[in-house]
């Protein structure tokens, strides 16, 4: 017993010496982006990590800069601050490297838990994401952490839990579009890119609000100006297809899609290639839109067709074909497509078997309100 106490004392002393600032610094609504930059440059590991998070996610109105986000995250990591590992995990997720992301999340979790328990709103939000992403998932706790962070005024948490309220999560979060929109607009006041984009996508898809292309384009334009590839892609699609109050403008569409493609957005590259093929084949040099050819049908049509190949009802069962059609839709955020991709990754049907990627896609579907995916995450958690 004496040995154990001595060992524990040595361990706690080591932690205190190695991470002396953990818990002593917290995000507050009064903290400006310029102050974060100044404190990061002065050597604060906390603010280095926070700056990395903001540069990745475009919070406080700053432009997205993934390379700078990575550099500041590594700087925070060298200072021993868990924001560094957390943000490097998110950057790995953007690259599709789920193994590296899981490792970095796990490295960050222990020390972030300590800061979250001290009530730091930024740490509460980060731990919420980790509970949503890392095996074994704990969606109920993630929602609780998001809510606590949002209650403390952290804009990214307000934007996240607000978007979830638009659809709800059966058995976990009651659907409340009015509350969801209110939270999103509250986060918008703080120039949160997450809120701006989520509002744009709510109007784009008609999630919790009436579908409105004009309002979708307005919010996506604001997010696009912050150099957010996802906003550039969806805004480009709106202009390419010209629907729901948005006038078709293929020149604007091409510019936006090129900006997105330059940031390695796969779907933007694919759509641009399709436009170029259509342009070459047209004497009018006007690219066809998704609903103008059998090769570029609406996403809903593609989803229905993919479902036939997946189930074997209406088409000969073909998992390879189904997967190739479902993956782009899953990447766009279609919950059913994400769930089916997750199941195929879990079973290895139509694609390589990968439990980490399976869990990722099921989580994407669950966050979009897919009750079946949420149930499967719980049912199959021992397999992840």
Do 269 and 303 reside in the same domain of the chain? no
Domain count, the chain: 3
How high is the pLDDT of residue 285?
42
Q: Which residues contact 117 (CB under 8 A, 6 or more apart)?
A: none
The tokens describing 30, both together, are 């009064």
How high is the pLDDT of residue 95?
84
How far apart are the C-alpha atoms of 42 and 36, rounded to whole Å?
A: 10
Do 48 and 112 reside in the same domain of the chain? yes
DSSP 3-state of 26: coil
How high is the pLDDT of residue 192?
97
Low-confidence ranges of the chain (pLDDT < 70): 1-23, 135, 278-298, 379-384
Q: Which residues are registered as beta bridge partners of 169? A: 173
Do 303 and 284 reside in the same domain of the chain? no
Q: For residue 374, give its domain range.
A: 299-383
How high is the pLDDT of residue 48?
98
How high is the pLDDT of residue 368?
77
The tokens describing 79, both together, are 């200072």
Angle at the Cα of 66 from the Cα atoms of 127 and 134, rounded to 5 degrees: 25
DSSP 3-state of 97: coil
How high is the pLDDT of residue 132?
87
Q: What are phi and psi of 169, to 5 degrees?
A: -125, 110
- In a domain, residue 155? The reply is no
DSSP 3-state of 169: strand
Do 277 and 330 reside in the same domain of the chain? no
Encode 106-133 in three state secondary structure: HHHHHHHHHHHHCCCHHHHHHHHHHHHH
Do 90 and 125 reside in the same domain of the chain? yes
Do 266 and 314 reside in the same domain of the chain? no
How high is the pLDDT of residue 156?
97
Domain boundary residue, one of 136, 162, 179: 136
**Chain length of the chain:** 384
pTM over 0.75: no
**Burial label, 23 (beta-carbon count in 10 A; 0-12, 13-18, 19+):** middle
């Amino acid at each position: 017993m004496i040995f154990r106490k001595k060992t524990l004392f040595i361990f706690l002393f080591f932690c205190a010496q190695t991470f002396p600032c953990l818990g002593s610094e917290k995000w507050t609504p009064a903290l400006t982006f310029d102050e974060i930059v100044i404190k990061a440059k002065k050597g604060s590991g906390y603010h280095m990590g926070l700056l990395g998070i903001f540069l990745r996610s475009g919070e406080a109105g700053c432009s997205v800069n993934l390379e700078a986000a990575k550099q500041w995250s590594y700087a925070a990591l060298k200072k021993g601050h868990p924001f560094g590992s957390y943000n490097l995990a998110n950057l790995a997720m953007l690259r599709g490297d789920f193994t590296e992301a899981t490792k970095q999340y796990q490295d960050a979790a222990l020390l972030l838990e300590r800061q979250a328990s001290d009530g730091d709103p930024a740490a509460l939000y980060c731990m919420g994401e980790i509970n949503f992403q890392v095996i074994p998932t704990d969606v109920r706790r993630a929602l609780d952490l998001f809510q606590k962070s949002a209650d403390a005024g952290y804009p990214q948490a307000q934007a996240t839990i607000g978007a979830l309220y638009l659809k709800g999560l059966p058995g976990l979060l009651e659907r409340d579009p009015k509350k969801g929109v209110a939270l999103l607009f509250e986060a918008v006041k703080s120039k949160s890119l997450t809120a701006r984009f989520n509002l744009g996508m709510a109007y784009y898809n008609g999630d919790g609000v009436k579908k409105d292309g004009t309002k979708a384009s307005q919010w996506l334009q604001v997010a696009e100006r912050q150099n957010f590839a996802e906003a550039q892609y969806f805004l480009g699609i709106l202009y390419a297809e010209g629907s729901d109050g948005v006038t078709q403008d293929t020149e604007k569409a091409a510019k936006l899609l090129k900006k997105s493609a330059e940031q390695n957005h796969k779907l933007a590259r694919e759509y641009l290639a399709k436009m170029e093929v259509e342009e070459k084949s047209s004497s009018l040099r006007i690219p066809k839109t998704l609903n103008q050819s059998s090769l570029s049908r609406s996403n809903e049509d593609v989803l229905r067709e993919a479902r036939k190949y997946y189930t074997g009802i209406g088409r000969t069962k073909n998992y390879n074909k189904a997967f190739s059609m479902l993956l782009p839709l899953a990447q766009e955020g279609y919950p059913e497509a994400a769930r089916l991709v997750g199941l195929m990754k879990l079973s290895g049907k139509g694609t390589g078997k990968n439990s980490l990627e399976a869990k990722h896609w099921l989580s994407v579907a669950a966050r979009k309100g897919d009750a079946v995916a949420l149930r499967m995450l719980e049912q199959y958690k021992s397999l992840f």
